[in-house]
Amino acid sequence: CQSMAENQTSINQSSPHPSDPDAVSDLCQSLAAANTRHAVPVSCAMDRHQSMYKNRGRAALDQVERRRKELELQKQRRFNAMSLARRLAEDDWTTKDVDENDELDDDLVSVADTNETLATEELTADDTAESLQRKRRPGKNYRNQLMLSEWLMEIPDNLETEFLLKLCPQGKRVLVVAAKGITKTFDRRGRCIMTFPSELPGGCRQFRAGLTVLDCIWDTSSFHVLDIMHWRDLQLYDTETSLRFHWLETNFVESAPNVCRRTPKNRHPFLIVESHSCQRERLVEFLTLQPPFPLDGVLFYHQRGAYTFGHTSLVGWLKPYMLTEVLGLPCHQHYSIGLPADYQGWLVDVERFEATRRQMALAYSQDRQLRRQQQQTRSENSHSMVD
Amino acid sequence: MSIVTVLENSLSQDKSQRETALNFLQDAANQNLVQFLRQLSEILRDVNNTTFVRMQAGLQLKNQLYSKNSSVRMQLGQRWLTIPEADRSYIKENCLLTLGTEVQSSAAQAVAYIAVIELPAGQWANLMQVLVANVVDQASTPLKKQATLQAIGYICQDIDPNFLSAQSNEILTAIVNGMKKEEQNSNVRLAATQALLNSLEFTKQNFDIDAERHYIMQVVCEATQCAETGIKVAALQCLVKIMNLYYQYMETYMNQALFAITYEAMKSEVEEVALQGIEFWSTVCEEEIDLAIDEQESEEKGLPPTVSSKHYARGALPYLVPILTATLTRQEEQDDEDDWGPCKAATVCLMLLAQCAGDAIVGAVLPFVNDHIRSENWRFRDAAVMSFGCILEGPDPDNLRSLVENALPVIIELLRDPSNVVRDTSAWTIGRVLDTLPGLVVQEKFLNPLLHGLVEGLGAEPQVAANVCWAFSSLASAAYDQAVSQAGTSDSRSAQVETYCLSGFFEPIVGKLLETTDRQEAGQHNLRNAAYHALMEMLKHSPRDCYATLQKTTLIVMQRLKSIQDVADKLQTSHDRAQLNELQSMLCATLQSVLHKIDRNDAPNIADAVMELLLRMLTQQQVQQHQPADDEAEQQSGVQEDALLAMAALVDCLGEDFIKYMEVFKPVLLSCLRSVTETQICMNAVGLLGDLCRALGERIAPYTDEIFVILVELLSSQAVDQSVKPSVISAFSDFSLALGPGFFKFLEIVINTLQQASQAQVDVSNPDQVDYLNELREACLEAYTGIVQGLKGNGPTPHTQELRSIQPAVQPMLHFIAMVARDPVSTDEVLGCACGLLGDLVTAYGADLLPAVSDDVFSAMLQKCRRSKVSKAKTLAVWTTKEIRKLKNLQTA
């Protein structure tokens, strides 16, 4: 094939190539032997200028243009068809695409961060089939879109230079997406929890343009913004953590001053959770102050990480009462809230959490299996009645 | 009868004698071509023959070597090369010896036609030496020099520059020798200058060398100062072309000479000279506009630009504007469409200057506009409006806003000017304003007077009416876009606009446009086309509350199409048919634009009738095409092209319901697909196939076997234009998505084809071929995507069995993606498709693919595309990245 292409200049004089039984065998040659078109002769310059006079050349041009546009539309229709298959279209709620195993796997991973444990999310008394039905079907798009932490099991050597600390308020971990004039929040599994207007770019009818994607904690009255992934036209997923935080802390409020207030156009305030250096002297200063909100835990972000989906070792998690022990620093008394009476040290405590999680997961999957069996029997019964 | 006598008779007054003679010549050529050509060359050479006979011999010789039709030309060339060497040498020798023995040289042409065949085949190696010797030889007569230079000029004009660049030194020596001011004979000098004009393309290597370039430039500049207009004009034409080809070398000459030379030329009383002066500056502007774009692109890529703009145009602006505006006042009283002179050229130059200089143009031109827009003299009023219209594109629209706001009422008034030239220019200018500041014009205070002016203008002279139509085209989209933006939807196509500022006038405007298409003189100045185009734009951009008018218009359009078809059946002459074809084309395009607007519920009511019309157009055209083809062939195919596009609109509109037409449509579709020589028809048929697949889904299955065979034939056919092939490959993806597992039976051949096609290589130094390569690769990627998606199925769980069957192709697909990713010529569009396919593979095959996908080449590609400005590429890259991360998360969990 390659040699055919190289021979291009001699193609004019080459004899017909040997025929091959395979119908497409000479395809490659027929494709590669692209006709050598000459560059447009320059003597046309004046002709070209003539067609630019008033609307003189327009009729012919428009004809060509009109047909070209139509073909372009066809191309677009193909792209749309493919996008459909990729479920790229937003708000694709109607397709029943919940793969249950997949869903379980999501939840089996560490539940360390936030108080959003399996117990509260999956096994509450009212979480019956009906209530699941009431909530909108999870969209695949918004499932597993949050960057989740892992337990901090050892102190990294470069903690002081490479990590940033954020206090994590109590509440529900949510993904906030403002687009096309409406703001929506999704839980970790991609279920839409709330829909409301906000002054985030794209978030209300007046600010339709742009797209905002935030990683937040929802404390039932405000959103605490942990991280920012998209702002207006700016994609931040691939930017380093330090830069995203810097961006969040400087540009966010500046470019949308009203988002931290409660207004008719911004129904819930967005409050920024500030990041702090892990340098020892800074921490000493900061940890002795009273935390600004009831704490769920403390997050350690690696400065150089990009925003990834799911759990990552680049974000560490500790309960507030573990800090004194782990860092060897004195903390404000509010950090000790929730300290178990039988606390035997941080690593043991982490293991206790993990054990609980495994139990919960087991119970959850058994419960789910049971429910599925019941459902099956029910539907079999109904079938037999119809028969 | 001797051939000389026959040649004499071929010019006879008597028709039958003439015909007999021509038949005789044809027979002679058929019976013994070599003998015939030898004789012709002898007659040509023999100075004892009359001029008439010698010219006729030269003409006959040419007819055996050259045709306007490119495939015939190829055949003639091949045939010439099969003539024995000795005979060819004899004929060539005779032609060369003729040079300089005629007053008007036919031999120069004969030499050139033979050279254009032989030089690319590597023959007649000493030709250039002989020609150069003719010119340099002191003993040569001026006539011989002139004829020889003409021959050189013809050769340079017709041959691919690649075959001459090796001999550019000899050629230039000959030409420059003839061009020098020492040359006394002005015919020789003119022939040399014209030859230089034709040879500039392949003398790059000489232009690259300072000394040689200086010399050429000196000779050209001297020639521009020649008293003979012909030589002066030809030399100026050389400068225009040199500016276009060798901008980067012009700095020295620009200050020293070119500015002064062309400035003087622009002011010349002699129109041809002034015209070339203006063309020179238009070319400078075009170059600098292109360079500005290049510079911007390089900056975005972080590369230094290869050639940078010296901003000659911006620097010369204060000198150019007064001359240009003054030239604008030298309009012809009676405008002839085909005329091209300084006044019109100045218009274009001013437009280009505005694009080049941006905001700076406004202050330079505005005083002229203000001083003369209310002048008593129509020439000045017209020039003022014209220069205002010219500067609308280029400066920042916001800086023009208040200016336009002030000028618009005056220009609307001028739509009623007593001078038709002024009315015409005003209508054109309003169209320009609408394109530049659409939101401003549709304000209520302007809209009413404007519409009255425009509707009235539709009844004016054809030329004025045509420009009014174009203004309506612009107005339609301006008004609609305003309504869309008020409704707050960014995507104008999905938006359902309820009403807009033209709603109250919609019906009368459409009615008036329909009337205009029917005007007696609609054939002049493209009026009919312009009116239909305006009509289409109005219909395409109509809000819901104008739907009733749209429906009514649809019926009128259908009625018109039908009556035309009835007439067309009876037509005999190809001229009438050509005119009718154009009309059918326009009506069909109008129909197509309404089909996109028709409610899905209303579509079935007209579908039968539309189908009948379109089928008749397609079959009627096929009958015509089987008749001997002449120059109108192109226009005929235009009708079919439009009919196929309208059919696609109908398919899109009817969706699955189109199935009931498939049986009647199938034969037509197949024959369109087989139109290998009619590129656009073939291409549109292939495109339509995609729409059918999407509309019918699996129900297209009974037709696919037959179609598939044709598609494969198209791909391997040498007769098919290259541009069709990528579309065919993309069509495989439509098939696969529609058929799902039903595509299985075609899989082997398609995969095989794709693997071959993805290996195609081209000459990367040729931008056209690079474009083509990208198109081809995009098609292959689309086809692969279609196959993976189609076989995987739409359900929650992938069809593992089907997927396993293409497992062996996965590795080649990944290789192909990597190849595309590594290739620096890949555009973001292609890379986006590659990202998409990568994502499709990952979702289909899951974690097994992770190790392979983790290769750096893929992550680099994804990263690049996530930052792309091309939104498709960006979307797909983000999606694929997410899919990969999801899998990775699952795996680590």
| Mean pLDDT of successive 10-residue stretches along chain B, which has 893 residues | 85 85 90 94 94 91 86 90 95 95 91 93 91 92 95 89 82 91 92 93 88 94 94 96 94 93 96 96 94 83 80 95 96 78 95 95 95 96 96 92 92 93 94 90 90 92 92 93 73 66 94 94 88 94 93 95 84 72 88 88 92 90 50 59 92 91 95 89 93 92 94 88 91 92 90 90 83 93 93 73 84 94 92 94 88 91 88 87 84 70
Cβ–Cβ < 8 Å for A314, A271: no
Helix (H, G, I), strand (E, B) or coil at A163: strand
**Exposed, middle or buried, B808 (CB in 10 Å: 0-12/13-18/19+)?**
exposed
Nearest-CA distance from B45 to chain A in Å? 32
C-alpha angle with apex B182: B179 to B188, nearest 5 degrees? 40
CA distance B84 to A328: 102
Q: Which two tokens stand for residue A179?
A: 């687009």
Among A13, A37, A70, the strongest candidate for a mutation testing the B interface, having the largest count of B CBs within 10 A, is A70
What's the confidence (pLDDT) of residue A378? 62
Residue B347: its chain A contacts at CB < 8 A?
A: 53-54
Q: Which two tokens stand for residue B155?
A: 């050769």
Cβ–Cβ < 8 Å for B462, B420: no
Binding-face residues of A in 245-304 toward B, CB within 8 A:
none
Chain B contact for A28 (CB, 8 A cutoff): yes
Nearest CA in chain B to A107: B893
**CA of B528: how far to CAs of B55, B471, B695, in Å?**
44, 14, 34
Q: Into how many domains does chain A fold?
A: 1
**CA of A140: how far to CAs of A94, A146, B862, in Å?**
11, 13, 21
Nearest CA in chain A to B432: A54
Are residues A32 and B762, on separate chains, in Cβ contact within 8 Å? yes
Nearest CB to B715; choose among A12, A24, A109: A24
Are residues A34 and B769, on separate chains, in Cβ contact within 8 Å? yes
Residue-wise pLDDT for A179-216, tens only, equals 878 898 888 877 788 888 899 988 888 887 778 899 99
Residue B892: its chain A contacts at CB < 8 A?
A: 310-311
* Phi and psi torsions of A150, nearest 5°: -120, 160
Nearest-CA distance from A191 to chain B in Å? 17
Are residues B344 and A50, on separate chains, in Cβ contact within 8 Å? yes
Q: Which two tokens stand for residue B859?
A: 């992550």
CA distance B217 to B614: 59
**CA of B337: how far to CAs of A55, A335, B216, B528, in Å?**
11, 87, 37, 16
Among A36, A38, A54, A149, the strongest candidate for a mutation testing the B interface, having the largest count of B CBs within 10 A, is A54
Cβ–Cβ < 8 Å for B750, B732: yes
What's the confidence (pLDDT) of residue A119? 30
Report CA A140 to chain centroid distance, whole Å.
11
Q: How many CB pairs under 8 A join A and B?
A: 213
Chain B contact for A309 (CB, 8 A cutoff): yes
CA distance B296 to B122: 43
**CA of B199: how far to CAs of B149, B155, B158, B357, in Å?**
11, 9, 10, 32
* Phi and psi torsions of A317, nearest 5°: -135, 135
**CA of B826: how far to CAs of B293, B306, B815, B855, in Å?**
20, 20, 15, 19
What's the confidence (pLDDT) of residue A260? 87
Nearest CA in chain B to A26: B716
CA distance A301 to A307: 10
Nearest-CA distance from B644 to chain A in Å? 10
Are residues B753 and A209, on separate chains, in Cβ contact within 8 Å? no
What's the confidence (pLDDT) of residue B671? 92
Cβ–Cβ < 8 Å for A283, B864: no
Q: What is the DSSP letter of B102?
A: S
Among candidate residues B716, B766, B774, B712, the one with its CA nearest the CA of residue A28: B716
Q: Residue A99 sits in which domain range?
A: 2-386
pTM above 0.80, yes or no: no
Long-range contacts of A373-379 (CB under 8 A, 24+ apart): A375/A129
Are residues B717 and A5, on separate chains, in Cβ contact within 8 Å? no
Nearest CA in chain B to A204: B488
**Exposed, middle or buried, B130 (CB in 10 Å: 0-12/13-18/19+)?**
middle
Are residues A70 and B592, on separate chains, in Cβ contact within 8 Å? yes
Q: Which two tokens stand for residue A229?
A: 């992934």
Nearest CA in chain B to A62: B533
Chain B contact for A40 (CB, 8 A cutoff): no
Domain assignments of chain B as residue spans, ordered by start: 1-123, 126-245, 257-395
Are residues A24 and B716, on separate chains, in Cβ contact within 8 Å? yes
Other beta carbons within 10 angstroms of residue A337's beta carbon come to: 12
Among candidate residues B322, B410, B315, the one with its CA nearest the CA of residue B360: B315
What's the confidence (pLDDT) of residue A6? 35
What's the confidence (pLDDT) of residue A129? 39
Nearest CB to A28; choose among B348, B488, B760: B760
Question: Domain of A153: which CATH number?
Answer: 3.30.470.30
Pairing status of strand A211-218 against strand A223-231: antiparallel
Nearest CA in chain A to B767: A39
Helix (H) or strand (E) holding A238: none
CA distance B403 to A104: 66
Residue B722: its chain A contacts at CB < 8 A?
A: 31, 34-35
Those residues with Cβ within 8 angstroms of residue A84's Cβ, 6 or more apart along the chain or in another chain: none
Other beta carbons within 10 angstroms of residue A48's beta carbon come to: 15
Those residues with Cβ within 8 angstroms of residue B761's Cβ, 6 or more apart along the chain or in another chain: A1, A2, A5, A32, B773
Nearest-CA distance from B43 to chain A in Å? 32
Are residues B839 and A46, on separate chains, in Cβ contact within 8 Å? no
Are residues A32 and B761, on separate chains, in Cβ contact within 8 Å? yes
Residue B772: its chain A contacts at CB < 8 A?
A: 34
CA distance B577 to B399: 50
Those residues with Cβ within 8 angstroms of residue B295's Cβ, 6 or more apart along the chain or in another chain: B305, B308, B309
Those residues with Cβ within 8 angstroms of residue B37's Cβ, 6 or more apart along the chain or in another chain: B61, B64, B83, B87, B91
Among candidate residues A196, A194, A236, the one with its CA nearest the CA of residue A214: A236
**CA of B818: how far to CAs of B85, B842, B855, in Å?**
52, 15, 9
Binding-face residues of A in 144-183 toward B, CB within 8 A:
144-145, 181
What's the confidence (pLDDT) of residue A159? 87
Q: What is the DSSP letter of B255?
A: I
Residue A5: its chain B contacts at CB < 8 A?
A: 760-763
Are residues B889 and A144, on separate chains, in Cβ contact within 8 Å? yes
Nearest-CA distance from B747 to chain A in Å? 14
Chain B contact for A100 (CB, 8 A cutoff): no
Residue B226 identity = C
Q: Which residues of chain A have pLDDT under 70?
A: 1-44, 59-61, 63, 84-85, 87-141, 143, 375-387
Chain B contact for A99 (CB, 8 A cutoff): yes
Residue A103: its chain B contacts at CB < 8 A?
A: none
CA distance B695 to B674: 22
Helix (H, G, I), strand (E, B) or coil at A266: strand
Cβ–Cβ < 8 Å for B106, B96: no
Chain B contact for A86 (CB, 8 A cutoff): yes
Chain B contact for A16 (CB, 8 A cutoff): no
CA distance A146 to A152: 18
Nearest-CA distance from B233 to chain A in Å? 14
Nearest-CA distance from A97 to chain B in Å? 5
Nearest CB to B715; choose among A27, A39, A55: A27
Among A1, A15, A26, A42, the strongest candidate for a mutation testing the B interface, having the largest count of B CBs within 10 A, is A42
What's the confidence (pLDDT) of residue A30? 55
Are residues B760 and A1, on separate chains, in Cβ contact within 8 Å? yes
Q: Which two tokens stand for residue B630?
A: 């002449």
Chain B contact for A46 (CB, 8 A cutoff): yes
What's the confidence (pLDDT) of residue A217? 94
Are residues B875 and A88, on separate chains, in Cβ contact within 8 Å? yes
CA distance B791 to B799: 7
